[in-house]
Every structure is written in C-alpha cells, then in structure tokens.
Chains A and B, each alone.
Chain A
C-alpha cells in the first residue's frame, strides 16, 4: 500500500490557487504551437478544455462517439450551475460554497480542490454570459437565481430546465471558433479504445472510427480524459445510452488509479420504472424540490388503496399525508441533499407506503405551490376575493413558466397531467462521484494523462450537491486544466511530434484488434443487452442505495461469473469493419463487467456509511449514515493488478485544516 501525493500547494487555503498559478512553469506561445493535446469527450469538461487549450495555442484533437460534440450528455443537465456570486445578498460567499460542498460530500473530498472550485465558480458565470449563454433573468435585467438541495442560499444560475444544454452549447460554440481557426480537429463518431504509453508517459490513443470501423492511431504530448461517469453500469440510469467508462477504464488498466468507485449518486426525483422493456430513466430536476412537496400516505391501507387504483392522491386529506422529509429534516425540508432524500424515499417504500403498482414511487406535489403563487399573483394584479379556480389558474401559469418543459416531459412519458395530480417519482442512478484519481493539477498517476469533469474523482466526496456538476466540469475545463497542464508540458517543448509508428503504438493497436476479434467470436447465445441488464440487476440490488457485506461479496462473485459467461457466449452480429452498434455496446459492457467487480470490492472494504455509500451495518439508531473518520477518512485509489478483485489499495489521507469535521446533519 503506497501513499499518494496530492501535490496540494502549501500556504493558507484561500491563497493556494493564486500562489500555485504564480509558481508553476509556463509554455511560451511560440512553443505551444509545437505541442499536441488529445481531449477525449466533448461535454462541459472536455469541450471547455479543448476550446481553452486551443485558444492558448496548443494543437488540439477532440474525440467523441456522438455525431457532434454538442450532443454529449452534459446537454441533459436540467437544473442549474452554482456560483458564489452572492447576487441575492443572502450571505453567500466563496467560503460558504466551499463549506457546503465539503459537508454535502460528507467530508470525503479534498479541501484545496473544493476551495479552488468555489473560487473559480464566479468566473464561470462571467465567462458564460460573455459567450452569450441566455441565463434566466429578472425583470430588472439582472441574472436570476434559485435554490438547490443541501444549501441555505440561492446561488444557482439557470436557463429554465435546460441549463446543461445552454452551457454545453456555449462550450461547443467556443470549440467551433477554434475549429474554424484550425486549432481544434474534431473527430466525431470516434471512440477511444486504448491509451498509448511511451516511456511511461501518455503519448496517444488508439481510436475506432465508428462509421468505417477503421482502427486509428493518434499521438500527442498529453491526453485529457473527459469522458464522463460510469453510471450506465447499472443499465437503468439517467445517463444517455452511449455513456461508458471505456476511456477511463482503459486508462486505469494502463496504470492510472481509480478512486472511490463505490461513490454513486442516486438521484431522488426520477420517473419510476414502468416495465422490463425499459431502456432508460428520466430525471425530474432537483429544482422541482424548490416548489414540490414530497409525500406518501400516512396509513398503510391508503397506500394500498392508491396502488390498487381505488383511491386518488388528490382525494387524500392533508392530515392523512406524511410529508416525510419535512417531518424528519425540518431545517432543510424538501431540499435535503440527494443521498438523504433518496434513502428516505426507499425507507418509506420498503415500509409499504409506495404509491404505484410496483410500490416503488412517492409523490412530488405542486398543489400548495400552485395555490401560493396564484394568491400572490392575484394580490399583485389587484384582484379582490378571487375564487379558488382563478387562483389555481394563475398559479398554474407561474409554475408552467418555471418548470414548463419538465412538466411536459413528465406528461409525455407517464401520460398524466402533473398540474392536476402529483408526480410520481423514485430514485435512480444519476452521477458517479468516483473516477480516475487525480492530483491538484488534475493529473492521473500516469504522467501526461489528465482527467477532468465527472471522469475524475476530485471534488464531490461521497455525495455531490445539485448544480455542482456543471460547475465542476466548466471549472476544470475553462479555468484549471489549461493552467496546470502547462507545468507538465513545459518539459516537452523540445520533444517534437510524437511518432505513431513506434513499437508502443504497434502493441496497443494489436491489443485492440485482438480484443475486437475476441468480442466477435463468442458462441452467440445471448445478446449484449442480456448481459448488461443482468449486470444492472446485480448492481441495483446489491450495490445500490443500501449495501451490506454479504451481498457485496455475492455481487463480486456473480459479476465475475457473468463476465466469464459474457466472453464465452456473447453474440455480436455484423462485421468489425463497418458501422456496428452491437460491437460498440459489447466493448462498453465488457468494461462495465470489470468495473462492477471493483465497485463492489470498494464498497465492501469501506466499513462505514458516508454520502451515497450506505452500509446497512453502519447507521445510527435513527437510520442516518454513520461515518468512521478514524479509519476511513481517506480516498481509496485502486491500482489495476489483473483481475478486478486483485486490485491494490492506495490511500490518500484527507486532512481538514480549515473545516471542522462534524456529523452531517440537515435536521
């Protein structure tokens, strides 16, 4: 077991980043023209990094499996982006955002990284507005804010329920400007299949052109992995269908440590599963918890009547409803952090209070918000004694203006009108806090290989707060990586172009070809989806919202067996030298089948509950997570050593010099 060096600069917390920027080496503009950088993934982190690096003068190549960089799944982020602007004058500050993020992450993230994130958060908003991102505004023309879970201020900037889309289109536009200048070469419908190391440094990738099936070699002086998270491991999730861990996992197998794989975010407000045919789950933004109240019936017999269709939720009297979040967590109410809200929903449903056919759903009710807004509107419009119907109509209009697209999305999927009857929601896999281990410079344990955005592990600890993913992706890409990567590349100014005809590239390409051949030579009994669904079931049932040692051990064995079966019996039709979506899926599922085992191993070794990782053996009498700071206040970074079960543990101890480590309470 080794000790990891996080390379956090010395000095007071608030000065670290400025000091670091002043001290690290730079590459002069003329030399940047001779340096190539590969960026894998074009979401918020990859897109913003690529644009900024190109603008600084580096030659950038971007890779994405989608047909356009603009389609990366950052586009689906709904609610907003946090920034410590304190435009609302409600007492927000860089320190408070830093504090909320550390506490929200259940004291399992690195202080210096989180402080830097909070510090640059304000630049993000300035930057995006300058780029023409149309954020929501108030009538006075200034930017509007709303509130998200786990905080007591309004610091979230938004563009209706399409914030991720607007921010990504901003980064994509910045990329387009550099593509037009010839500084970025964008490879779309391309997938990274392996990382190439020369003399221990990351020097390129092997990629597959997904249209022609061609295997290509691309070299560079540094490689940035910004390929997102690995939640599709669970098969059903709010991730896009193509989301995968391949780039990160290949990098891990080449020597990069993988940190905290078991930290997964299960988002409390998603549309419940409707049947076995389901391919994907849809999120209903956390912003809805600003106005929606979550409840289940108080009495078991009412819950049963609702499940059987004998009773409608709107018929249930106020005193027969259990607003369980408001009851359990009066200080934060419906805006507790995601892990807390998810577990509370599961607890109620497991106790028999679920409200849909499968018993796995709770209500998210907008009725009181509609009436409250309606009364306010009637008052400001000077109406005297309006009746309930008028108030309701006025209120519905206001709720529509705030959340219209989400309500429409819900209605299209569920075929129920959420203005008239409460939404049904249930937790679903949404984000992964774990990822490639990186130091303060966002460099992995492989020199020259960096990881940004959701692909790295760095800022969210064991639980991410709402509207912080967009913040982190853009912070990494626009404001952190472009500085820190120069420190490494300053040694490469005399290296010259990296050749792709070296034995290292030969070997990597050969491995990739062998792997594809093997994938296509299974006995052909089951489809790729068959294995993916099976893996998803194991993950959800045994490594999901609550975990225990026995089931985690079982999961490790079951996943290993499933992986063996997969390689022997999977059926991949078609040929490798053409467009072949089944082959693409097969490669991705093969990696999930390895990561899943490491995930369970990580969850098994962490004998405590923290954030999204809830071990049934470690909880308080009230059922809250019970951390063990004495033994587990560290980042678990795993080194690849053959089979996932043999991975070697390295620890990075987390030191809190500026925050007092406390039991997280939202009561």
Chain B
C-alpha cells in the first residue's frame, strides 16, 4: 500500500520543529508500524537525507520505550497495545498518517519523535519502593500470605510500562494514572503499608514539581493505556493521599 505520512521533525531540544510530508510506497500489511518507519528511514538515508529518529527497543510491547502519537492517539488507533505492536493491517492504501511525539511540558522533545521522560524516573525515585535492604536476609517469602485478590490487583497496577501514553492522552498532561499505579501496587500489599503515607505524599509532590497538569477525571488516560491500567488506581491514590495528609 501507499501511504502519505506527516511526521514531526525537530533537530534538537532548542530548535523549532515542523511537520514534514513523506510518501511511502510498498508497505505490506504484515509489517509492524515501526518496520514501516524503518523502511522510510532506509529510503531517506539512500536519498542522502537524515532518518527520522524515534524511540523503540523491545518491539514486543513491554519495555515502554516507543512513544508515538499516531493520528492524534497515543500508540495509534488500536487499543491495549503499544506502537511497536501496531501492524499496518490497521491502515488502508492511500491513508494519511500523522506521526508526532508525546506532547507534554514535562516531556520535552530531544529530537524528532523522541522525548525526555526522565520525570517519570524522578517520581519513582521520590518513593516508588519499599525500603528493604537487598543484601539482607528477609523472612521466608511464604511467611507473608497475601489474599489472591489483592495480589492480582497489585500485579495489575504493576504492569504499567511507564511509556507516558496517559500523559500524552490527557488534555492537562497529567501523570496521575502513572503515579497512582505505582502507589497502588504497594498500597495493596502488606509490605507496602509501613511507608504508605510518606510514599504517596513524596511521589505526588515530585509529580507536581515536574510540571504535570491536574487530573479532571476525563478518563482519556485509561482509554489509551496500552496495559489497561484502571482509573480505580487514581481513586485509590486520592484516598491514600487524603488519609496521609489527615494523619499529618
């Protein structure tokens, strides 16, 4: 199939970017979306132009590196997958496809479609862990029985891949879904209780410092999340935050 691509090109963080048009022929249905971009890049290099830079790594939907806004939707038209799992059979011959980087103040563009998501790392550093020593000798794993339901909910929250689609989908560029998923994972486990109050306060403080917007409960983040992280996590984090604040 033949495609008409409109791609955001930006030399570096300081330069101004612009949409550039490309026509690409010979795209096959079995190709993944990123393989389509590989072919475009091979063409561009052959023509002596600079290839389009985009973040990607595992290409199986788990590392969270790929981060493309495709026709206005994070990770493209399909649901519950990342851009690297999107295949060209979701498009038709003659389609126009608009490809942009994540758009959020807290995710500045590095080059072309690549953004800086280190804000997510800093939120995790502020408290996304349980303070146990790794070289110590903790108790036997089965000495802490955990209700299956809680363990499963905790796991579901923990499947967040940190891609940033939630932020990109949100009109306020809020990071509530991301932050609440991490808070929830620990809040649902007995091991996480000891530091629960401190954790939620520190992570929320860092989230605000990074310049993410506020949550107005539109739920776009949940719709676009490739791992189906639930809005319930935001409710849980709000509850945790409130109770932590009241406790002082």
Whether B110 pairs with A134 at a CB distance below 8 angstroms is no
Known pairs A73-B57, A137-B148; A126 contacts B139 (CB<8 A): yes
Q: List 22 A-B contacts (CB under 8 A).
A: A68-B117, A69-B121, A71-B63, A73-B63, A87-B142, A123-B137, A126-B141, A127-B132, A131-B130, A131-B132, A132-B154, A165-B161, A188-B118, A241-B58, A277-B31, A278-B35, A279-B32, A279-B38, A283-B60, A409-B61, A415-B89, A527-B42
Whether A579 pairs with B114 at a CB distance below 8 angstroms is yes
**Cross-chain contact of A67 among B48, B55, B141 (Cβ < 8 A):** B55
**A512 CB–B CB distance under 8 Å:** no
Chain A residues lying within 8 Å of B142, measured Cβ to Cβ, are 85, 87, 142-143
**A351 CB–B CB distance under 8 Å:** no
- Considering the complex, give the chain B residue whose CB is closest to the CB of A124: B141
- Considering the complex, give the chain A residue whose CB is closest to the CB of B112: A579
CB contact list, A119-148 vs B, under 8 A? 123, 125-132, 134-143
Known pairs A180-B125, A573-B48; A129 contacts B191 (CB<8 A): yes
Whether A143 pairs with B141 at a CB distance below 8 angstroms is yes
Whether A134 pairs with B189 at a CB distance below 8 angstroms is yes
**Cross-chain contact of B148 among A55, A67, A139, A482 (Cβ < 8 A):** A139
Interchain CA distance A158-B124 in the complex, whole Å = 24
Whether A582 pairs with B85 at a CB distance below 8 angstroms is no
- In the assembled complex, the CB of B235 is this many whole angstroms from the nearest CB of chain A, namely 20
Interchain CA distance A137-B145 in the complex, whole Å = 9
Interface of B, secondary structure class, is loop
- Considering the complex, give the chain A residue whose CB is closest to the CB of B121: A68
Chain A residues lying within 8 Å of B48, measured Cβ to Cβ, are 573
**Contact residues of A with B, CB < 8 Å?**
48, 51-52, 55-56, 66-71, 73, 75-76, 85, 87, 123, 125-132, 134-143, 159-160, 162, 165-166, 169, 172-174, 176-177, 179-180, 186, 188, 211, 238, 240-242, 274-275, 277-280, 282-283, 408-409, 412-413, 415, 478-479, 482, 527, 529, 571, 573-574, 578-579, 581-582
- Considering the complex, give the chain B residue whose CB is closest to the CB of A211: B110
**Cross-chain contact of A127 among B62, B65, B138, B161 (Cβ < 8 A):** B138
**Cross-chain contact of B189 among A123, A128, A132 (Cβ < 8 A):** A132
Whether A579 pairs with B110 at a CB distance below 8 angstroms is yes
Whether B129 pairs with A131 at a CB distance below 8 angstroms is yes
Chain B residues lying within 8 Å of A76, measured Cβ to Cβ, are 58, 60, 62-63
Interchain CA distance A194-B56 in the complex, whole Å = 24
Whether B53 pairs with A581 at a CB distance below 8 angstroms is yes
Interchain CA distance A56-B136 in the complex, whole Å = 10
Chain A residues lying within 8 Å of B121, measured Cβ to Cβ, are 68-70, 176, 186, 188
Chain B residues lying within 8 Å of A186, measured Cβ to Cβ, are 121
- In the assembled complex, the CB of A349 is this many whole angstroms from the nearest CB of chain B, namely 20
- Considering the complex, give the chain B residue whose CB is closest to the CB of A68: B121
**B158 CB–A CB distance under 8 Å:** yes
Chain A residues lying within 8 Å of B154, measured Cβ to Cβ, are 132, 134
- Considering the complex, give the chain A residue whose CB is closest to the CB of B190: A132
Interchain CA distance A479-B136 in the complex, whole Å = 9
**Cross-chain contact of A280 among B42, B49, B59, B144 (Cβ < 8 A):** B59
Known pairs A176-B124, A279-B35; A51 contacts B148 (CB<8 A): no
Known pairs A160-B155, A579-B53; A129 contacts B144 (CB<8 A): yes
Whether A71 pairs with B158 at a CB distance below 8 angstroms is no
Chain A residues lying within 8 Å of B140, measured Cβ to Cβ, are 126
- Considering the complex, give the chain B residue whose CB is closest to the CB of A579: B111
Interchain CA distance A514-B114 in the complex, whole Å = 28
Chain B residues lying within 8 Å of A275, measured Cβ to Cβ, are 28, 30-31
Whether A573 pairs with B191 at a CB distance below 8 angstroms is no
Whether A176 pairs with B57 at a CB distance below 8 angstroms is no
Closest 8 CB pairs of A and B: A141-B145, A173-B129, A130-B138, A134-B155, A129-B141, A134-B154, A240-B57, A280-B59
- Considering the complex, give the chain A residue whose CB is closest to the CB of B56: A241
Interchain CA distance A70-B120 in the complex, whole Å = 11
Interchain CA distance A242-B169 in the complex, whole Å = 27
**Cross-chain contact of B65 among A67, A129, A135, A408 (Cβ < 8 A):** A67
Chain B interface category by residue count: 35 or more
- Considering the complex, give the chain A residue whose CB is closest to the CB of B88: A277
Chain A residues lying within 8 Å of B63, measured Cβ to Cβ, are 66, 71, 73, 75-76, 240
Interchain CA distance A127-B159 in the complex, whole Å = 20
- The interface centre, meaning the residue of B89, B111, B114, B125 with most chain A CB atoms within 10 A of its CB, is B125
Whether B162 pairs with A162 at a CB distance below 8 angstroms is no
Whether A130 pairs with B191 at a CB distance below 8 angstroms is yes
- The interface centre, meaning the residue of A56, A134, A165, A172 with most chain B CB atoms within 10 A of its CB, is A134
- Considering the complex, give the chain B residue whose CB is closest to the CB of A279: B35
Whether B80 pairs with A277 at a CB distance below 8 angstroms is no
Interchain CA distance A621-B87 in the complex, whole Å = 45
Chain B residues lying within 8 Å of A412, measured Cβ to Cβ, are 61, 78, 81, 85, 87
Known pairs A166-B158, A176-B124, A211-B110; A529 contacts B42 (CB<8 A): yes
**Cross-chain contact of B129 among A66, A174, A529 (Cβ < 8 A):** A174
Whether B134 pairs with A48 at a CB distance below 8 angstroms is yes
Known pairs A131-B132, A579-B110; A413 contacts B155 (CB<8 A): no
Interchain CA distance A515-B89 in the complex, whole Å = 42
Chain A residues lying within 8 Å of B191, measured Cβ to Cβ, are 129-132
Whether A132 pairs with B87 at a CB distance below 8 angstroms is no
Chain A residues lying within 8 Å of B185, measured Cβ to Cβ, are 132, 134
- Considering the complex, give the chain B residue whose CB is closest to the CB of A157: B141
Chain A residues lying within 8 Å of B31, measured Cβ to Cβ, are 275, 277
Chain B residues lying within 8 Å of A137, measured Cβ to Cβ, are 146, 148, 151-152
Chain A residues lying within 8 Å of B87, measured Cβ to Cβ, are 412-413, 415
Interchain CA distance A76-B111 in the complex, whole Å = 26
Chain A residues lying within 8 Å of B59, measured Cβ to Cβ, are 240-241, 279-280, 282
Interchain CA distance A581-B42 in the complex, whole Å = 13
Chain A residues lying within 8 Å of B32, measured Cβ to Cβ, are 279, 413
- Considering the complex, give the chain A residue whose CB is closest to the CB of B57: A240
**Cross-chain contact of A571 among B45, B53, B114 (Cβ < 8 A):** B45
Known pairs A143-B142, A275-B28, A415-B87; A138 contacts B148 (CB<8 A): yes
Known pairs A71-B63, A130-B139, A134-B185; A176 contacts B145 (CB<8 A): no
Known pairs A278-B35, A282-B60, A574-B50; A130 contacts B130 (CB<8 A): yes
**Cross-chain contact of B30 among A70, A169, A274, A579 (Cβ < 8 A):** A274
Interchain CA distance A125-B143 in the complex, whole Å = 12
Chain A residues lying within 8 Å of B152, measured Cβ to Cβ, are 134, 137
- Considering the complex, give the chain A residue whose CB is closest to the CB of B38: A279
Interchain CA distance A280-B38 in the complex, whole Å = 12
Chain B residues lying within 8 Å of A279, measured Cβ to Cβ, are 32, 34-35, 38, 59
- In the assembled complex, the CB of A239 is this many whole angstroms from the nearest CB of chain B, namely 9
- Considering the complex, give the chain B residue whose CB is closest to the CB of A412: B85
Interchain CA distance A253-B192 in the complex, whole Å = 46
**B213 CB–A CB distance under 8 Å:** no
- In the assembled complex, the CB of A514 is this many whole angstroms from the nearest CB of chain B, namely 24
Chain A residues lying within 8 Å of B126, measured Cβ to Cβ, are 180
Chain B residues lying within 8 Å of A135, measured Cβ to Cβ, are 141, 151
Interchain CA distance A393-B3 in the complex, whole Å = 41
Known pairs A125-B141, A130-B191; A478 contacts B45 (CB<8 A): no
- Considering the complex, give the chain B residue whose CB is closest to the CB of A133: B158
Chain B residues lying within 8 Å of A127, measured Cβ to Cβ, are 132, 134, 138
- In the assembled complex, the CB of B183 is this many whole angstroms from the nearest CB of chain A, namely 12
**B218 CB–A CB distance under 8 Å:** no
- In the assembled complex, the CB of B172 is this many whole angstroms from the nearest CB of chain A, namely 23
**B25 CB–A CB distance under 8 Å:** no
Whether A165 pairs with B62 at a CB distance below 8 angstroms is yes
Whether A582 pairs with B45 at a CB distance below 8 angstroms is yes
Chain B residues lying within 8 Å of A211, measured Cβ to Cβ, are 110
Chain A residues lying within 8 Å of B124, measured Cβ to Cβ, are 172-173, 176
Chain A residues lying within 8 Å of B120, measured Cβ to Cβ, are 68
Whether A413 pairs with B147 at a CB distance below 8 angstroms is no
- In the assembled complex, the CB of A383 is this many whole angstroms from the nearest CB of chain B, namely 23
Chain B residues lying within 8 Å of A160, measured Cβ to Cβ, are 155
Whether B12 pairs with A579 at a CB distance below 8 angstroms is yes
- In the assembled complex, the CB of A476 is this many whole angstroms from the nearest CB of chain B, namely 13
